Structure formats: C-alpha cells, structure tokens
Chain A
Amino acid sequence: MTLIMIMLAVIGGATLSMQAAINGQLGSKVGVFRSAFLTFSTGALITGLLIFYFEPPQAVTLLDVPKWQLLGAMCGVPYIVIMVLAVQRIGTAVATVAVIFGQLLMSMLIDNFGWLGNETIHFSASRIAAVICLAIALYFIHSSNKTSA
C-alpha cells in the first residue's frame, strides 16, 4: 500500500516537471500569469467534468467545511508569483534549492505536529538521516543547475 502511494507520488512529480517544461514554453510567449491562468482554468474544467460524471455523492460539500480548509490555492498561487519575481533576481539554481528547502522543512513540521488535521508522524533517526540525504541531493541539484545555467 505504502509502495503504491510512493509510486503515485513519483508519477505526480513526473507530471509536474512535464507541466513545468510545457508551461515554460507557453509562458515565454504569452506571459507567466496568462499561462498560469490557462493551467488553472483548464484544470478546473477537467475536474468539473470528472466530478459531474464520476464523483460519488458526498455527505459533506466544500461549502460545509471550515473556511481555512479552502485556503490551499491561496498558498499555491503566491508560489507562482514569488518564483516569477525571484528567478530574475537570484537565479534558477538558488530558487530551486530554496523552494525544496521550504517544502521539506514545512512538511516535516506538519507531519511532526499533525498540523491542519493531518496524522502525526514523529521525527525519528531514519527521518533525520533522510533529511541529510536530501541535503546532499540538493547540493548536487544546485551545482548541476549552476553549471548548466
């Protein structure tokens, strides 16, 4: 089960980098906000269609949950804006590493304290070892971006 979920996450990452490559092409022609808008509106249309035909009825709707649970996009969209502003000033290499650093730090915190209604997964020796492996990986991503940029 865990293995399937990890595979899924890896596939998700692969689609994400395909999306980044495609959107990069589009963004260079029509502008970043336009390409982001296209991504979100196409995504909304597709999930709308999927809901219409495939989603089983749910007891709770989006309008019933506490409002803070709907803030997901408010955390995702600033990322796009920040990246547009930052890449010009600090370069892709530093920006990539900084994003991943922020992502990991926050995800460890959320897991450890069970924030936002998630299950608690405490720090352990192997988790800390995993973080060290990632720090090394980040160093290599950084130096690879630097030589190629």
Chain B
Amino acid sequence: MQFLMIFFVVLGGAGLSVEAGLLGPLGAEVGELWATFSIFGVGAALTFILMLFFSPRNSPSFFAQPSWTLTGGVLGPIYVVILTIATPAVGIAMTMIGILAGQVAKSLLIDHYGLFGTAHRRIDTKRIVALLFIVAALVLMAQS
C-alpha cells in the first residue's frame, strides 16, 4: 500500500514534467498567454468539479478569510508563463532544476522568517547543502 502510494506520487511528479513539456511547444504555436490560459481554464473547470463533489460541505467562505491568503492565484500565472518561455530555450530538465533551486531557496527564507503565517523555523544547514548541490547540478546542466 505504502509502495503503491509512493509510485503514484512519482507519477504525479512525472505529470508535472509532462505539463511543462506540453506547454513549451503549445506556447510557441498559440502564444505564451493563451497556453497559460489553457492550463488555468481547464484547471479551474476540473477543480470546480472536484470541489463540488468532494469538498467538505460547510467550510467557511473565501470572503471570511484574510485577503492575502487568496493571492495564490496571482502567483500561479507567473510560474506557468515562465515555464512556457523557458522550456523551449533551455529544455525541460534544466527548467525543472532551476524551478527546484528557486523553490528550495525560497522555502528556506519562508521558514526562517516564518512568512505567510507558517511556523517560524531556523535556517537549516541540510537544506543549504541541498541548495548548493542543486546549484552545482544547474551549472553542470548548463555546460552540456
């Protein structure tokens, strides 16, 4: 059961790369913004259906939340537009590693300063070492 779950998560990660792989060529054909729109349009339709059937019934309204917690959707398009622009230029693996470097670096900062209401957690050397190896991987990729 555990093993099966891990397998599904690996598949989920592979799905993210396929998404990036589809986006690059699509953006070259119909324009970056249209390609981004196709992701968010279809995504909104799918998650609406999921929300309709699987969301807990009486969860609090969006309007009862502090407005900054609703800004996730503003950041999403930045990421997808970048995927569309970068993958044709440098390839999917390099884009993914760059994304990973940004993620790890930013998550260090978020945890360290306890930004966005997350638990305050000291900078942790293991993650810094991880970040260094990711940067090394980026350099190696750029050379090939």
Residues of A near any B CB (own CB < 8 A): 1-3, 5-26, 29-31, 33-48, 50-51, 54-56, 58, 60-62, 64-65, 68-83, 85-86, 89-90, 94-95, 98-108, 110-111, 115-119, 121, 124-127, 129-131, 133-134, 136-138, 140-141, 143-144, 147-148
Q: Is the CB of A65 within 8 A of B29?
A: yes
Interface flags, B81-122, vs A, CB<8A=1, else 0? 011011111111111111111111111001000011110010
Residues of A within 8 A of B17 (CB): 102-104, 106-107, 110
| A130 CB → nearest B CB, Å | 4
Q: Is the CB of B60 within 8 A of A12?
A: no
**Whose C-beta in chain B lies nearest to the C-beta of A115?**
B21
By secondary structure, the B interface counts as: helix
| B40 CB → nearest A CB, Å | 4
Residues of B near any A CB (own CB < 8 A): 1-2, 5-6, 8-26, 29-31, 33-44, 46-48, 50-51, 54-56, 59-62, 65, 68-80, 82-83, 85-107, 110, 115-118, 121, 124, 126-127, 129-134, 136-138, 140-144
Complex Cα spacing A134 to B56, Å = 38
Residues of A within 8 A of B93 (CB): 104, 107-108, 110-111, 121, 127
Q: Is the CB of A70 within 8 A of B42?
A: yes
Cβ-defined partner of A44 (8 Å) among B1, B13, B20, B44: B44
Cβ-defined partner of A46 (8 Å) among B6, B30, B59, B73: B73
Cβ-defined partner of B99 (8 Å) among A10, A58, A82, A141: A10
Q: Is the CB of B44 within 8 A of A41?
A: yes
Residues of B within 8 A of A127 (CB): 93, 140-141, 144
Residues of B within 8 A of A26 (CB): 65, 69-70, 72
Cβ-defined partner of B43 (8 Å) among A76, A107, A133, A148: A76
